[in-house]
Amino acid sequence: MTQEKALPARARTVIIGGGVGGASIAYHLAELGERDVVLLDRGELTSGSTFHSAGLVGQLRSDPTLTRMNMYSVELYRTLQQSESPPSWVESGSIRLASSPERLEELRRQLAWARVFGLPMEEISATDAEDLFPLMTTDGVLGGVYLPSDGQIDPSQLCYSLAAGARRGGVTIAQHTRVLGIAVERGRVAGVRTDRGDIECEIVVNCGGIYAAEIGRLAGIRIPVVPMSHQYVVTEPLAGKLLTPEKPLPSLRDPDLLVYYRQEGRGLLMGGYERHALPFTADANHYDAVPADFNAKLLPDDWDRFGEIAENSAVRVPAMADARIRRLINGPEAFTPDNEFCLGQTEVDGFFVSAGFCAHGIAGAGGVGRLMAQWIVDGEPAMEVAHMDINRFGHQYSSPSFTLKRVLENYQTYYDIRYPGDERSAGRPLRRSPVYAWHQRQGAAFGEKSGWERVNFYRPNEAAGDAGVRPQGWAGQNFSPAVAAEHRAARESVAMFDESSFAKLHIAGPGAVSFMEWVCDNRVARGPGRVTYTQLLNTRGGIEADVTVTQVDAESFWLITGTAFGPRDGAWLRRQARAGDFDVRITDITGQYSCFAVWGPRSRELLTALTPVDLGRTAFPFMTSRELPVGDIPVRAQRVTFVGELGWELYAPVEYGAALWELLWEAGAAFDLVAGGYRAIESLRLEKAYRVWGSDVTSETDPLSAGLGFCVAWDKEFLGRAALLTRRDAGLTRKLCCLTLDDPSMVVLGGEPVRIEGELVGRVTSGGYGYTVGRSIAFAYLPVALADPGRSLEIDLFGEWSPGRVADDVLYDPSGARIRS
């Protein structure tokens, strides 16, 4: 072991982990001018998962952010290849095959995404694929796609190249240094303790890979990653095959066979995602515990478990049947429960995470490094990464059992086609409404979000629906006529929905009013009983959350956000409170209250029969809240809607939930009450052009371009106001538009490119079918000059351009008369 220099006693930033993730962050911090940075590794650089990674670099993903990150990675690797420390980047291209009609449809959908990002992907025939990769057989191949700018890289050389750049920028790299503890004082990182001394610091970045969860526990943070055994083989040179290392074949994936290949010297590297996955050290009752001496090591060969992959590989590349195997690589890779990275600042201020690379970390390493460096320096991410934010995980992921179930399912279905409406099954049912058993008895079809069981629709309602409006293609998968019946009930009589899963945060304390006015762009402190629709903005004026806020009393508020957003929104709010030194308490009360929505033109009649309180338009106006009895049950009723109809959301302590639902159901028989699910809510909200956070609005979109400028209270100070003023004064260049397709049976799924007069102008953010208006609806950000209603356009649906037009923003009740009736 080489003699290491003494550690500095202090640094601004300490990065733990010397794989490609840590080295990339160090490299990019140096590029941003950060010099006071120390990178620590318990062994040597690359001695974690990096050294045994397969080295494939693919750019296109279904997620726009990840695609942009991967595209930047390729740009960076090209640049590094010309540096003093080239990482052996080879732009060999990639092929993805379709061995089934369903897979060919999936590839054509991916081809549309590639157009949006300007990636030079093209559809190829089976013969074209064989010309590019002569070792394959075309038996059963229906087609494929080819992306020439994808490539492959030596992961270890990439890490060394990034580390060299970081060193040149002034970063200190200390190998053979084990972190033993992380000092946290008053909720903030204060330093790290190592076997070579302590380092005082302001920021710690956990880039521990398979060790990330263990490192997180040192700071009291649960990071739900599980090291999974991932195997691939490297062959000897293939007999009779003239493979040249100087001009390697493109990488090849056949997801229907669960396999991937790339050239390695004069042979092949081949791996895949087997159906019988195996975790490294975690089990249902214990957190992962990587052995202390597991540095630069591999796991024992597991040929029995690799058998399915080996057999499948010879189906597509017959030479694999007789190839001599140089070695089987069995190395642990850190996987997350949803196959997304774990990035960002945790609930401990200054403690960042960049982990859970899910076997595609080499492709993402460049983009992740830049994103994280900017996040550390600026205090917030420059891209929309809520779906990668470490704070997205709810309390259920503190359970090793639940985490492991989700990770196993994710790994084993890595290459599966995921149709709209497909649901995960692992770890279910977990979080249940107090009327879950009632839903079961009534034939509910459940979906799951953030661990909650939520009703998608009720099968008995199918008889009253219309099977004739089933969309074509993928949008028709998991279709149910019940959705139409539940949609119509909300429009024509009254429908009831169980929204107990919606996240509820209680903000209280002497500083609550000033805090809420600072974080909300709308004025929310308007007196007890007032409900406000508002956004929470970042410093760039982007929308961090889209919420309703109720002022409960002089010093407390309720904030209602989406089911999956509660943990992240709560963490974001607490960070803002600490940053501004506001005297507030922010508590997640989601599980304490049931929430049932009663919406429709007869909702007032139904509720009037159950309460002595006047529910008239004047006595109980729209966007107000009050406590009242419903039958024997104390309820907080809020006159709000997400479907565009008269109605209320009823919040009751969970111990009253079952009784309240049953009371409403029995009384509702006289008013043609129908119980509905979330798919009907989605259809209803589309007709009203209600935005959804995470698709229509994100941290990269602002209220003005999203059509939410009416929420902005310009006469007060709020977070992001300066940036929003700059955008307002500069004038909008793009705006969110409602689109309709000429053929109602052609329904978008999201992400499809939009073109006008042959030019790509945007991508679909969300869409679906509106049962009242009888139209296929989509939303997309378009140039303002092309956003006038009636303008013709086309949307790419699986390789076919479907005509449509820009519509009026609100297709149903544009004046809002019904919600205020």
For residues 82 and 772, is the Cβ–Cβ distance under 8 A?
no
Planar angle of CA 712, 716, 720, nearest 5 degrees: 60
Annotation marks residue 546 as catalytic: yes
Gap between the Cα atoms of 291 and 268, Å rounded? 31
Strand 151-152, strand 56-57: pairing:
antiparallel
Give strand ranges (E) for 357-502. Answer: 444-449, 452-458, 494-498
Place of tokens 């309602």: 461
For residues 571 and 581, is the Cβ–Cβ distance under 8 A?
no
- The catalytic position among 28, 52, 230, 506 is 230
Cβ-Cβ contacts under 8 Å for 155 (sequence gap 6 or more): 20, 46, 50, 51, 53, 55, 362
- Helices vs strands, H then E, count in the chain: 17, 38
Annotation marks residue 230 as catalytic: yes
Q: What one-letter code names the amino acid at 403?
A: T
Question: Hey, what are 18's tokens?
Answer: 């010397």
**Within 10 Å of residue 36's Cβ, how many Cβ atoms?**
17
Gap between the Cα atoms of 131 and 582, Å rounded? 65
Gap between the Cα atoms of 782 and 702, Å rounded? 14
Distance of CA 735 to the CA centre of its chain: 23
State the greatest distance between any 2 C-alpha atoms of the chain, in Å, as a whole number: 88
- The catalytic position among 72, 146, 232, 260 is 260
Cα of first residue to Cα of last residue in the chain, in angstroms, is 78
- The catalytic position among 41, 288, 521, 546 is 546
**Within 10 Å of residue 180's Cβ, how many Cβ atoms?**
11
Gap between the Cα atoms of 29 and 19, Å rounded? 16
Annotation marks residue 28 as catalytic: no
Gap between the Cα atoms of 769 and 771, Å rounded? 6
For residues 369 and 22, is the Cβ–Cβ distance under 8 A?
no
Handedness of CA 531, 537, 543, 545 (dihedral sign): negative
**Within 10 Å of residue 28's Cβ, how many Cβ atoms?**
26
Nearest to 361 by CA among 129, 113, 159, 78: 159
Q: Which positions are catalytic?
A: 230, 260, 546
